Amino acid sequence: MNPPTQWPPRPATIEEMMLQALAMEREAVARYSELADIMETHNNREVAELFQRMAGYEQHHVDHILEDMHWPRNIVTPRYGGIWTAPDGPEAVPLEDMHYLMLPWHALQLALAAEQRAHDFFDGLAREAASDAIRKAALEMRAEEAEHVELVRAWLAKVPQPDSDWAADPDPPRHTD
């Protein structure tokens, strides 16, 4: 999909930059929680728990930003167009990538890609920064995302790779005969 016309965003102040960061982290919490609910509904408990844990990590980021900036929980963040190129934010796993039989390995691949996009988002903000103070703040956020990338990588190394028939279902939902 083509990016919004306002791209690229260039926050003029630290507050503006942190509002963008907060918007992205909130999207990530909401999306991981939604994915956890979806997997729970479809009785895929292992992946549901994994997404719930990811939501928890992202919630830490949200809390951290709010505390640091002395902002109230119901602060309004900038909407959509001016912020990012990917729909729903760089750190949100796309909803359409879900599969009811997916394994932790698949879920972690999606999380890894999302964390990498978040890292690149802050990297872009640091490069575009209008002042040294903004650059410094963006680099701090980038470092936190880099930690997440490593955390997910380490987790991924511990889970087995799926067999080739992981999506095989003897009673598939689309059986129409």
Partner 1 sequence: MNEVAAPVETAAFAAADYKSGYKPVWCPGCGDYGVLGGLTRALAILQLPPHQVAVVSGIGCSSRIPAYTSCYGFHGVHGRALAAGTGLKVARPDLTVIVAGGDGDGYSIGGNHFLHACRRNVDLTYIVMDNHVYGMTKGQASPTTEPDWNSKLTPGGTGVRSFHPLVIALAAGANFVARAFSGDSGGAAEIIAQAIRHPGFSFVEVLSPCVTFRPEQKDWKQAVRRTEIPATADPAQAARRIMTDDGFNIGVLYAGDRPVYGRTHGTGIAPAELEGEFAL
List of residues contacting partner 1 (CB under 8 A): 1-2, 4-5, 14-15, 18, 30, 34, 37-42, 68-72, 74-76, 79-81, 87-89, 94-100, 102, 137, 173-174, 176-177
CB of 158 to partner 1, least distance (A): 24
Tell me which long-range contacts 41-49 makes (C-beta under 8 A, separation of at least 24): 42/100, 44/100, 44/101, 44/102, 46/103, 46/104, 47/102, 47/103, 47/104, 47/106, 47/107
Cis ω for the linkage preceding 8 (within 30 of 0): yes
- Copy the structure tokens of residue 60: 């830490």
Q: How far is the CB of 175 from partner 1 (least distance, A)?
A: 8
> 75 or 147: whose CB is closer to partner 1?
75
User: Measured from the CB of residue 116, what is the shortest distance to partner 1 in angstroms?
Assistant: 19
What's the min distance (Å) between Cβ of 139 and partner 1?
13
**Cα–Cα distances in Å, from 102 out to 22, 26, 34, 113, 115?**
29, 24, 15, 16, 19
CB 104, min distance to partner 1, A: 15
For partner 1, which is the closer residue by CB, 154 or 165? 165
Residue 85 or residue 151: which is nearer to partner 1 going by CB? 85
Q: Which is nearer to partner 1, 37 or 150 (CB)?
A: 37
Helices 45-69 and 104-128 cross at an angle (nearest 10°) of 20
Find tokens 């095989």 and name the residue.
168
> Which bin fits 122, alpha (ψ -120 to 50), beta or left (φ > 0)?
alpha
Query: Among residues 136 and 153, whose Cβ is nearest to partner 1?
Result: 136
